[in-house]
Amino acid sequence: MYKIKLVPDNTAIPFLKYRMIAFILSAVLILGSLGAFITIGFNKGIDFEGGILIEIGTETSPELSDMRASLGGLGLGQVALQTFGTDTDILIRVQRQEGDASAQQEAVDVIKQQLASDYGEEISYRRVEFVGPTVSQELVIAATEAVVIAVLAMLVYIWLRFEWHYSVGAVIALVHDVILTIGMFSITGIEFNLASVAAILTIVGYSINDTVVVYDRIRENFRRYKKLSVAELVNLSINETLTRTVMTSVTTLLALLALYIFGGEVIRGFATAMIFGVVVGTYSSIFVAAPILIHIGLTHQKEEEDGFAGAERTDEDAEEKG
Amino acid sequence: MNRFPTWKIIVVAIVCAFGILYTLPNFVSKSTLSGLPDWLPTKQVNLGLDLQGGSHLLLQVDAGTVKTKMMDSLVDGVRDSLRQQGDNIGYRNLSHDGAVVSFTLRDPADEATARERLSDLSNIMANGQRDVVIASDDGRVTLTPSEAAITTRLSAAVDQSIEIVRRRVDETGVNEPTIQRQGSDRILVQLPGIDDPDRIKRLLGETAQLTFHLVDLTADVGAAGRVPPGSKRLPGIEEDGRTYIIKSRIMVSGENLEDAQATFQQGQPVVSIRFDGLGAKQFGQATTENVGKPFAIVLDNKVVSAPRINEPILGGSAVISGGFNVAGAQDLALLLRAGALPAPLDILEERSVGPDLGADSIAAGEIAGIIGIIAVAVYMIVSYGLFGIFANVALAMNIFLIMAVLSVLGATLTLPGIAGIVLTIGMAVDANVLIFERIREEIRVGKTPLNAVNSGFARAFTTIIDANVTTGIAAIILFVMGSGPVKGFAVTLLIGIISSMFTAIMLSRMLISFWMQRKRPKTLEI
CB atoms B471 and A209 under 8 Å: yes
Tell me the C-alpha distance between A247 and B437, whole Å. 10
Q: If DSSP codes are grouped into helix, strand and coil, which group holds residue B334?
A: helix
Domain boundaries, chain B: 6-50+355-519, 63-151
Cβ contacts of B58 on chain A, cutoff 8 Å: 135
Say if CB B523 and CB B385 are below 8 A apart: no
What is the predicted pLDDT for the residue at A241?
93
Q: Could you report the per-residue pLDDT of A272-287, keeping only the tens digit for each?
A: 999 999 999 999 999 9
The pairing of strands B412-413 and B46-47 is parallel
Yes or no: is domain B6-50+355-519 CATH 1.20.1640.10? yes
CB atoms B469 and A157 under 8 Å: yes
| Residue stretches of chain B with pLDDT short of 70 | 1-2, 85, 195-196, 220-225, 483-485
What is the predicted pLDDT for the residue at B40?
79
- Partner B contacted by A148 (CB < 8 A): no
Residue A300: CA count within 13 A, CB half-sphere: 13
Q: How far is CA B438 from the centre of its chain?
A: 49
Domain boundaries, chain A: 15-42+136-316, 51-131
Q: Is the pLDDT of residue A308 over 60?
A: no
**Nearest by CB: B356 against A124, A131, A205:** A124
Tell me the C-alpha distance between B453 and B459, whole Å. 10
Name the β-bridge partners of B303.
Answer: B236, B298
What is the predicted pLDDT for the residue at A28?
97
Q: Which residues contact B29 (CB under 8 A, 6 or more apart)?
A: none
What is the predicted pLDDT for the residue at B137?
86
Tell me the C-alpha distance between B367 and B415, whole Å. 13
Mutating which of A127, A137, A259 best tests the B interface, going by the most B Cβ atoms within 10 A? A259
CB atoms A208 and B352 under 8 Å: no
What is the predicted pLDDT for the residue at A37?
95
A314 → chain B, closest CA residue: B459
What is the predicted pLDDT for the residue at A313?
41
What is the predicted pLDDT for the residue at B414?
85
Q: What DSSP character marks residue B126?
A: T
Say if CB B235 and CB B302 are below 8 A apart: yes
**Nearest by CB: A3 against B376, B383, B415:** B383
Q: Could you report the per-residue pLDDT of A197-228, keeping only the tens digit for each?
A: 888 888 888 899 899 999 999 999 988 888 88
What is the predicted pLDDT for the residue at B390?
94
Cβ contacts of A247 on chain B, cutoff 8 Å: 383, 433, 437
Q: How far is CA B10 from the centre of its chain?
A: 42
Q: Give residue A319's pLDDT band: very low, low, confident or very high (50, 70, 90).
A: very low
DSSP for B387-398?
Answer: HHHHHHHHHHHH
What is the predicted pLDDT for the residue at A303?
47
Identify the sign of the CA torsion B136, B137, B141, B142: negative
Say if CB B469 and CB A170 are below 8 A apart: no
Cβ contacts of A201 on chain B, cutoff 8 Å: 474, 477-478
Tell me the C-alpha distance between A195 and B50, whole Å. 13
CB atoms B469 and A201 under 8 Å: no
Tell me the C-alpha distance between A72 and A66, whole Å. 10
What is the predicted pLDDT for the residue at A119?
86
With CA atoms as reference, report the closest residue to A180 among A11, A20, A16, A29: A29
Cβ contacts of B375 on chain A, cutoff 8 Å: 254-255, 257-258
Tell me the C-alpha distance between A139 and A129, whole Å. 15
Chain A and chain B share a number of CB contacts under 8 A equal to: 247
Cβ contacts of B459 on chain A, cutoff 8 Å: 313, 316
The whole-angstrom distance between B237's CA and the closest CA on chain A is 19
Mean pLDDT score, A239-259: 93
What is the predicted pLDDT for the residue at B510?
93
CB atoms A201 and B477 under 8 Å: yes
Q: Is the ipTM of this complex over 0.90?
A: no
Fold category of A51-131 in CATH? Alpha-Beta Plaits (3.30.70)
Tell me the C-alpha distance between A234 and A217, whole Å. 9
Q: Is the pLDDT of residue A318 over 50?
A: no
The whole-angstrom distance between B524's CA and the closest CA on chain A is 12
What is the predicted pLDDT for the residue at A317?
43
A15-42+136-316 belongs to which CATH class?
Answer: mainly alpha
Fold category of B63-151 in CATH? Hypothetical Protein Ta0175; Chain: A, domain 2 (3.90.1070)
Q: Give residue A150's pLDDT band: very low, low, confident or very high (50, 70, 90).
A: confident
Cβ contacts of A209 on chain B, cutoff 8 Å: 427, 430, 467-468, 470-471
CB atoms under 10 Å from CB of B147, counted, come to 9
**Nearest by CB: A161 against B346, B416, B466:** B466
**Nearest by CB: B486 against A57, A150, A198:** A198
What is the predicted pLDDT for the residue at A309?
42
Cβ contacts of B481 on chain A, cutoff 8 Å: 142-143, 145-146, 149
Name the β-bridge partners of A83.
Answer: A90
- Partner B contacted by A274 (CB < 8 A): yes
- Partner B contacted by A64 (CB < 8 A): no
Most confident range, picked from A15-19, A122-126, B385-389:
B385-389
Mean pLDDT score, A113-121: 86
What is the predicted pLDDT for the residue at B393?
94
The whole-angstrom distance between A310's CA and the closest CA on chain B is 13
Cβ contacts of A271 on chain B, cutoff 8 Å: 419
CB atoms under 10 Å from CB of B321, counted, come to 17
210-269 of A, contacting B, C-beta below 8 A: 210, 212-213, 216-217, 240-241, 243-244, 247-248, 250-259, 261-264, 266-267
pTM: 0.81
The whole-angstrom distance between A268's CA and the closest CA on chain B is 10
The whole-angstrom distance between A40's CA and the closest CA on chain B is 26
Say if CB A230 and CB A298 are below 8 A apart: yes
